[in-house]
A and B are shown apart, each in its own frame.
Chain A
């Protein structure tokens, strides 16, 4: 039976949303292939999370538990996963990993170990055939069935490329967080648990974590907000958000959002962060105030129905993908806008 493998991610032994998203994506591919879904879980004292993986769609869980695996580190995770998969006679057909700061650190190394192709930061997946006939690449030409179609935005998000790697299993991709849908949890679903051997050497442990700081992400439902008023570093201080709150008050049910720079400054808590290391949002309307539009920010907001940018710099990258823009000082533009909106 073919296997679709996903990597579980967790923070302080709590499974991250990407884990459920990957399982959801794997489930729908598995149904097309009549395959099973497996999940690789590395950590320490983490067995109590296994049931949640089964409920979220896994048929099988590979578990590696060791004190050195408590938090993600490149080398030990790389070693254990690659040793195990290399030992299998039949490799997983597909291996999906989150395009998180963890997944993008690890997946390229694993792909090298397996000589697998790796498609980066995918937003769509599918299964299909590939009829390859190349005049220069005769050895690999032929018809390939059941290929992973990994689809990703490219060139500053202006193109969509479908990338395949049918020649070698596992076929690998990293998946952008916040895009794939988890399945509805199936309570009490059973599955198979397989303990993975752990052989770590001194070299695998030579990177030390001195400190990790994460603000815990209390769920506020930015991901399902219809209207978002987002503030960036251009607000210049935390009080700037008072103005944005007032603007939000002009709409029904608008939420606030912020860029990472704002979070790093401590002006807003992390739960408001939008972008690659924050939330992916898809509101009908997003008004970005004093946001430059860096690539890691763009990833989080580009699915908005309408993006309005207010920025004093006409060359800010956000004007390259916003739908509407006002070039001006937000401290002039927004009070005026509030007045206009209130008059209606």
Chain B
């Protein structure tokens, strides 16, 4: 069966939490110093998009907004088998909160045109708000299903199971629809041979690169700069502090004897 046309998947590059490099005390990130990675939650969104294509057809476009270096995660998406990629990159986007980010991404989606499904990760590991997906759906005026762990398409409607407190809920929604994919969805599979080869070629051939990776700025998508960046964001981080209690100082004990002694101390 092949009736889907366009599937979009939104992915974000985040600092690698394993390495503390580049994360300043005030919560800002020195993106040049930080080790970078694809937001782990977006791996599930990618897998969901690949599953949708496999079962129902269509072309997948992976979209990211970020600094030029964020192109790295587009290579990764291509290796996994997406068909096209978009990098929205512009200085005036720096410091955007979720309101402004969702505005910029919505304009990017409008620029690209029609679609059947948009997949987002549940949340990121840096901003960690889980807000951008729903805000894009609101701006596009389409339905959404959040916390999705499984889905199928029947009679041109999506039927999806979502996580709720104490259980699950199954919803049916018309297309186009935006889905945020939970980390209880299937894990992302290995890269494809075809994808890996394609990325190797892209690295060598500028022309091929331009075919598979489109770089846009805010003029291309006709975004109003007043709604972007720090100035366009309705929230501001006014202060950050380190939380000291739980900060990765796990004392590894050799065995039960040591542990039982520690427990005696703790419970005294």
Contact = CB atoms under 8 A, between A and B. Distances in A.
Contacts of A22: none
Nearest to B26: A159
Interface string B88-124: 0000000001110010000000000000000000000
B230 A136 contact: yes
A144 B247 CA distance: 34
B206 to A, nearest CB: 36
Interface in B16-30: 17, 23, 27
Of A108, A167, A319, the most chain B CB neighbours within 10 A belong to A108
Contact of A215 (B167, B169, B233, B241): B167
Of A100, A104, A132, A325, the most chain B CB neighbours within 10 A belong to A104
A168 B234 contact: yes
A296 B147 CA distance: 12
Interface stretch (B4-12, B51-59, B63-71, B137-145): B137-145
Given A321-B248, A324-B253, A113 B17 contact: no
Given A112-B139, A325-B253, A214 B165 contact: yes
Interface in B119-175: 125-135, 137-139, 143-147, 159, 162-174
A100 B27 contact: no
Interface stretch (A32-40, A49-57, A204-212): A204-212
A337 B254 CA distance: 12
A270 B129 CA distance: 26
A319 to B, nearest CB: 5
Interface string B225-245: 000001101111111111100
Contact of B247 (A109, A158, A161, A326): A158
B256 A212 contact: no
B246 A321 contact: yes
A98 B171 CA distance: 21
B133 to A, nearest CB: 8
Nearest to B25: A159
B226 to A, nearest CB: 9
Given A154-B128, A277-B164, A162 B230 contact: no
Contact of B164 (A206, A214, A325): A214
Interface string A155-168: 11111111111011
A158 B260 contact: no
A207 B135 contact: no
Given A108-B98, A109-B137, A112-B138, A207 B256 contact: no
Given A101-B147, A109-B137, A212 B102 contact: no
A207 B143 contact: yes
B152 to A, nearest CB: 12
Nearest to A116: B234
B243 A323 contact: no
Interface in A190-245: 206-217, 227
A41 interface: no
B134 A324 contact: no
A241 B164 CA distance: 25
Q: State the majority secondary structure of interface residues on B.
A: mixed
A333 B256 contact: yes
A317 B172 CA distance: 35
Nearest to B244: A158
Contact of B131 (A75, A120, A321): A120
A119 B238 CA distance: 12
A176 B138 CA distance: 23
A146 interface: no
A308 B257 CA distance: 14
Contacts of A322: 250
A207 B246 contact: no
Nearest to A339: B256
Contact of A165 (B170, B234, B249): B234
A125 interface: no
B211 interface: no
What are the nearest 5 A-B pairs in CB distance?
A117-B235, A117-B234, A120-B129, A340-B260, A108-B134
27 contacts: A11-B165, A101-B163, A102-B164, A115-B99, A116-B234, A118-B235, A119-B235, A120-B98, A149-B238, A154-B27, A155-B23, A158-B243, A158-B247, A163-B238, A164-B235, A165-B236, A168-B234, A206-B143, A207-B143, A207-B172, A273-B166, A294-B183, A319-B252, A324-B251, A324-B262, A326-B254, A336-B255
Interface of B: 17, 23, 27, 97-99, 102, 125-135, 137-139, 143-147, 159, 162-174, 183, 230-231, 233-243, 246-257, 259-260, 262-264, 266-267
Given A101-B162, A207-B143, A212-B169, 15 more contacts: A101-B147, A104-B146, A108-B102, A117-B99, A117-B233, A134-B230, A136-B230, A155-B125, A158-B248, A167-B234, A207-B172, A212-B167, A213-B167, A251-B267, A340-B260
